[in-house]
């Protein structure tokens, strides 16, 4: 960490501690999230920057936060399969439940589409941002520094891995093993119910067609027995599925436990993402107090984004609301999300689930900065986002040059999205190094802008 920037690093760490200890959990659309957004708005006012607040509706449990609903659906499928063995028409209802849940998982949980939000309880969330412009008010491009104010529901399986914190392999197995087993159980039951519904529907149609030719049901059944191996297969499957739903019900219980709905157990969000919020603010404060170091013809925006954990809803709302407006023209976005693990400084270049590749120019700027500052990382300084998504995706889709900067172990460690995400786990030095990285990248953006002008997202 540059000693000259220690004051800003100390202040950033103090903001992190305030968010963790004074406010606590900040679930999407909650009072805690609103308190932190208001707090950062007041911090902007303190340095003479007018905060802008934009509210939007969010369905907090419509995406990743609602994964336990898939577990509940799985349990219904497991129990219902026994009743359906005696009441075959139930297979159609169970198949519909399984199919609907799969579609919801694919599009809402994995791809973050908002199509299903209307079916879930809604809350009001908010984005709060402030801008710093050159003294003459003229600028050619914008740098948006973003972080999200909300925190996640507690992922119980990650928290349970705390007892294996000194044995990472066991911790990974404890987390991924239960979740993976539960996912297999749910999909197995869902596809089984769909299969049964198709079989019974086909049989009804088949019998109806043969009835036209005067073949009675018992004669038809006898014909099928001698002409098809399907009956033998179906008999074996029927015997297996006499006990498999019991095992699958246990696995689905693991899915139900995925995200604890109790806000008192939610993540306190020191790393994820009070660090991003604090660093965004301290950088804009740095340039406010040092106007001679402000990039020429540049506007800087401190963007406190809401409801990221609910499926990037805040950044989606921001880009949709300002679509076609100057605020998004010639814009660069440094999205800062979790700067705490000193051995894992990295630039996140892609959201795999969202199928979005981030800006190549910014990627190279971060890699060059890591090299210049002598930062060594166990991830090689570059990763794909392994699960979910980050706010760089809506920004990139809006035509903004964006990447996400993080210093976080990308594995599902015991503190990730759990109430164990506290500030005593990391230090000021790591946060201060993150501050130095951002300043260096901003200098590179300014140089690039002067030499190449804005060239849009490069993949």
pLDDT in tens, 27-78: 999 999 999 999 999 999 999 999 999 999 999 999 999 999 999 999 999 9
Give the mean model confidence (pLDDT) for residues 86-110.
95
The average pLDDT across 125-129 equals 98
- What average pLDDT score do residues 82-105 get? 95
What is the C-alpha separation between 296 and 291, in angstroms, rounded? 10
262 Cα distance to chain centroid: 19
Residue 220, pLDDT above cutoff 60: no
CATH 3.40.630.10 corresponds to the domain 3-61+124-153+262-452? yes
Q: What tokens appear for 329 in the block?
A: 């023209």
164/411 Cα distance (integer angstroms): 14
- Per-domain residue ranges of the chain: 3-61+124-153+262-452, 66-111+171-260
| Measured distance CA(314)–CA(310) in Å, rounded | 9
pLDDT digits (tens, 9 = 90+) for 411-436: 878 999 999 999 999 999 999 999 99
The closest alpha carbon to 57, from 117, 143, 136, 104, belongs to 117
CB 223 within 8 A of CB 213: no
Given a contact cutoff of 8 angstroms between Cβ atoms, the answer to whether 348 and 385 are in contact is yes
Return mean pLDDT, the chain: 91
Q: Residues 198, 201, 205, 210: is their CA dihedral positive or negative?
A: positive
Confidence of residue 227 (pLDDT cuts 50, 70, 90): very low
Q: How far apart are CA 148 and CA 26, in angstroms?
A: 10
Residue 269: is it exposed, middle or buried by C-beta count within 10 angstroms (0-12/13-18/19+)? buried
Q: Is-contact 257 71, C-beta < 8 A?
A: yes
- Gap between the Cα atoms of 114 and 31, Å rounded: 23
With b for 16 or more beta-carbon neighbours within 10 A and e for fewer, the 123-135 pattern comes to bebbbbbbbbbbe
Query: Three-class SS string for the chain?
Result: CCHHHHHHHHHHHHHHHHHHHHHCCCCCCCHHHHHHHHHHHHHHHHCCCCCEEEEEEECCCCCHHHHHHHHHHHHHHHHHHHHHCCCCCHHHHHHHHHHHHHHHHHHHHHCCCCCCHHHCCCEEEEEEEEEECCCCCCCCEEEEEEEECCCCCEEHHHHHHHHHCCCHHHHHHHHHHHHHHHHHHHHHHHHHHHHHHHHHHHHHHHHHHHHHCCCCHHHHHHHHHHHCCHHHHHHHHHHHCCCHHHHHHHHHHHHHCCEECCHHHCCCCHHHHHHHHHHHHHHHHHHHHCHHHCCCCEEEEEEEECCCCCCCHHHHHHHHHCCCCHHHCCEEEEEEEEECCCCCEEEEEEECCCCEECCHHHHHHHHHHHHHCCCCCCCCCEEEECCCCCCHHHHHHCCCEEEEEEECCCCCCCCCCCCCCCHHHCCHHHHHHHHHHHHHHHHHHHHHHHHHCCCCCCC
- Which pairing describes strands 52-58 and 123-132: parallel, antiparallel, or unpaired? antiparallel
Split at pLDDT 50, 70, 90, the class of 459 is confident
| Residue 1: pLDDT over 80 | no
Taking a C-beta distance cutoff of 8 angstroms, is the pair 192, 101 a contact? Answer: no
Instruction: Provide mean pLDDT across the span 172-195.
Output: 91
Q: What pLDDT, on the 0 to 100 scale, is given for residue 203? A: 66
- pLDDT tens readout for residues 250-296: 999 999 998 898 999 999 999 999 999 999 999 999 999 999 999 99
Query: Is pLDDT of 205 > 70?
Result: no
């Amino acid at each position: 960490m540059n000693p000259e920037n220690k004051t800003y690093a100390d202040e950033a760490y103090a903001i992190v501690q305030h968010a963790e200890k004074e406010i606590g959990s900040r679930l999407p659309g909650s009072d805690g999230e609103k308190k932190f957004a208001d707090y950062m708005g007041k911090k902007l006012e303190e340095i003479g920057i007018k905060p802008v607040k934009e509210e939007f509706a969010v369905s907090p449990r419509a995406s990743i936060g609602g994964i336990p609903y898939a577990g509940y659906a799985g349990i219904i499928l497991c129990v219902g399969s026994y009743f359906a063995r005696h009441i075959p028409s139930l297979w159609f209802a169970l198949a519909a439940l399984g199919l609907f849940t799969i579609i919801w998982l694919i599009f809402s949980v994995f791809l973050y589409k908002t199509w299903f939000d209307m079916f879930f309880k809604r809350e009001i969330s908010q984005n709060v941002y402030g801008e710093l412009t050159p003294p003459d008010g003229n600028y050619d491009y914008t740098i948006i520094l973003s972080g999200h104010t909300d925190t996640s529901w507690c992922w119980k399986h990650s928290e349970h891995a705390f007892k294996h914190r000194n044995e990472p392999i066991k911790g990974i197995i404890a987390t991924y093993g239960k979740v993976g087993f539960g996912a297999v159980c749910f999909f197995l039951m869902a596809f089984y119910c769909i299969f049964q519904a198709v079989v019974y529907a086909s049989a009804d149609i088949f019998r109806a067609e043969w009835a036209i030719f005067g073949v009675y049901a018992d004669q038809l059944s006898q014909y099928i027995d001698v002409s098809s191996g399907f009956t033998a297969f179906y008999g074996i499957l029927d015997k297996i599925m006499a006990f498999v739903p019991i095992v699958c019900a246990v696995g689905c219980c693991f899915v139900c436990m995925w995200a604890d709905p109790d806000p008192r157990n939610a993540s306190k969000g020191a790393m994820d993402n009070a660090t991003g919020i604090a660093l965004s603010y301290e950088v804009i404060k740095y340039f406010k107090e040092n106007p001679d170091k402000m990039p020429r013809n540049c506007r800087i925006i401190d963007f406190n984004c809401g409801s990221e954990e609910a499926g990037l809803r805040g950044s989606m709302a921001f880009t949709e609301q300002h679509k076609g407006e100057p605020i998004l023209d010639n814009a660069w976005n440094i999205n800062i999300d979790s700067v705490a693990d000193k051995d894992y400084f990295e630039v996140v270049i892609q959201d795999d689930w969202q199928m979005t590749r981030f800006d190549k120019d910014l990627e190279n700027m971060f890699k060059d900065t890591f090299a210049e500052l002598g930062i060594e990382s166990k991830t090689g300084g570059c990763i794909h986002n392994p699960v979910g998504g980050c706010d760089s995706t809506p920004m990139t889709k809006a035509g903004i040059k964006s990447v996400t900067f993080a210093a976080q172990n990308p594995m599902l460690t015991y503190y990730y999205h759990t109430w164990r995400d506290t500030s005593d786990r990391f230090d000021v030095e790591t946060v201060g190094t993150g501050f130095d990285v951002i300043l260096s990248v901003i200098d590179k953006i300014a140089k690039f802008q002067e030499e190449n002008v804005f060239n849009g997202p490069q993949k």
